[in-house]
Amino acid sequence: MILTKEKIEQFSKMIEVSDNIVILSHFNPDGDAVGSTTGLYKFLQNLGKKNLSIIYPNEYAQNLSFLFEGVNHLIASNGLLTAKQLLKQADLLIFMDLNRISRTSEELQCLIEPLDIPKILIDHHIDPHQFDISFSDSEASSTAELTYKIIKQLDSTKIDLNVAKSIYTGICTDTGSFSYSCSRKDCFEVAAELVDLGLEIAPLKRQVFDLSSENRLKLLGYLLSEKLRVFSEYKAAYISVSKQELRQFNFQKGDLEGVVNYCLKIEGIEFAALLSERQDTIRLSFRSTNPSIDVNKFANQYWNGGGHILAAGGNSTLSLEETEKILEEQIHNNLHESNY
């Protein structure tokens, strides 16, 4: 049982006695990270909690900024000193949408680990580390879905339209608008309850998924026409993009969100990857449509990463060309038959 009465009561008491609550999420915060953290934040605010803050290791995508009205938050990569102060004053830390503290950033991890205060986990990734209270459900579509179930038990009267907007954003980004296989009955039920609260789906969908800068659309067109590499006999495809190419299209955080999925639009393709060159590393995103190609294990074993069976990410410290070469070798060695 993930949501036992005892755990909920324990969490409720911790919230009650805490005066400085800090919520944290993972590096490169996505829609679920932002949706679940801002949703919990607004709920705690509605409960009457005063000193609340969210710390993200680095910037979130601009299309999510509408969720931050009245939300006190900090990007640690822009202000580590302030993060340090917030963490020093904190008496409760809540980690969301990550399974281990190292998924924040090295700098934050060093600040967090010595702190002798309760650390709570709310997450849906596989293999969670130990926390003081852990709400971990790898069957949940999203951390936002799990968060909704928790706050509903804590005090359903404090879930308002603003909380609903955040939770819905988290669910629909992690489920690809209720289309991925993680979209089980529960996430539809939660969505129905959010709609019952008066949530309007269409403007939210446009805000989160449809609006795009001109540069982002052009980058997408370029990547699809020039950079898509298809290995039909191995049922694999990938796109890779260099720093210089990203600069050319005035890359903004979030511009590559969803690009990896285009590879899977080709009939027969079961494995997709996106390689993008960042400041000092190559960021890798993996997607699979075949559960026997477990990209969580693949990312974990070869690319210093992890995630879920059908969606995972990793990092490479090699050059973009070397990373491409290794990935192509792995594709040729037949992902389907390897025992990673």
Interface region with Mn ion, contact rule CB under 5 A, candidates 31-39, 53-61, 194-202, 314-322: 31-39
Contact status: 169 vs ligand 5GP (CB under 6 A): no
Query: Binds 305, which of Mn ion, ligand 5GP, none (CB < 5 to 8 A, cut-off by type)?
Result: ligand 5GP
Q: Which does 270 bind (CB under 5 to 8 A by kind): ligand 5GP, Mn ion, none?
A: none
Q: What is the DSSP letter of 61?
A: P
Query: Quick check: 57 binds ligand 5GP (CB under 6 A)?
Result: no
CB of 271 to ligand 5GP, least distance (A): 13
Interaction of residue 122 with ligand 5GP, rule CB under 6 A: no
According to DSSP, the β-strands at 119-123 and 236-241 are: unpaired
Please say whether the beta carbons of 171 and 144 come within 8 A.
yes
Cβ 322 to ligand 5GP, closest distance in Å?
A: 19
Note whether 254 binds ligand 5GP by CB under 6 A.
no
- For the segment 271-300, give every residue that binds ligand 5GP (CB under 6 A): 285
Whether the CB-CB separation of 289 and 297 falls below 8 Å is answered with no
**What are the strands, taking DSSP E only, across the chain?**
20-24, 51-56, 73-75, 92-96, 119-123, 133-136, 228-231, 236-241, 271-277, 282-288, 306-307, 311-316
Asked if 257 touches Mn ion (CB under 5 A), the answer is no
Q: Which positions ≥6 away from 271 have C-beta within 8 Å? A: 234, 235, 236, 237, 286, 287, 288, 290, 293, 295, 331, 335
Nearer to ligand 5GP, 29 or 118 (CB): 29
Q: Fill in the per-residue mask, 125 to 154: x = in contact with Mn ion (CB under 5 A), - = not in contact.
A: ------------------x-----------
| One residue of 305, 310, 327, 335 binding ligand 5GP per CB under 6 A | 305
The listed partner (Mn ion, ligand 5GP, none) that binds 73, CB under 5 to 8 Å by sort, is none
Q: In what order do the strands lie in the sheet with 92-96?
A: 73-75, 51-56, 20-24, 92-96, 119-123, 133-136
Binding residue for ligand 5GP, selected from 92, 194, 220, 311, defined by CB under 6 A = 311
285 binds, among Mn ion, ligand 5GP, none (CB under 5 to 8 A by kind): ligand 5GP
User: Binding partner of residue 52 among ligand 5GP, Mn ion, none, CB under 5 to 8 Å per kind?
Assistant: none
Q: Which listed residue (313, 330, 331, 335) binds ligand 5GP by CB under 6 A?
A: 313
Q: Which of 76, 90, 97, 293 binds Mn ion (CB under 5 A)?
A: 97
Nearest to 293 by CA among 317, 272, 323: 272
Interface with ligand 5GP (CB under 6 A), residue total 13
Indicate the residue among 46 and 138 with the shorter CB distance to ligand 5GP: 138
Q: Give 214's contacts (C-beta < 8 A, 6+ positions apart).
A: none
Q: How far is the CB of 337 from Mn ion (least distance, A)?
A: 30
Q: Which is nearer to ligand 5GP, 143 or 166 (CB)?
A: 143
121 lies in the binding site for ligand 5GP (CB under 6 A)? no
- The residue among 97, 145, 104, 91 whose CA lies nearest residue 125 is 97
Running DSSP on this structure, what letter comes out for residue 59?
A: P
Q: Considering the complex, state which of residue 83 and residue 273 has its C-beta at the smaller distance from ligand 5GP.
A: 273
Within 8 A by CB and 6+ apart from 258, the residues are none
**Measured from the CB of residue 195, what is the shortest distance to Mn ion in angstroms?**
21
Both tokens of 261, joined, read 């999925």
Give the closest residue to 56 by CA, choosing from 46, 48, 64: 64
Question: To which H or E segment does residue 16 belong?
Answer: helix 5-17
Which residues contribute to the site for ligand 5GP (CB under 6 A)? 26, 30, 103, 285, 305-308, 311-315
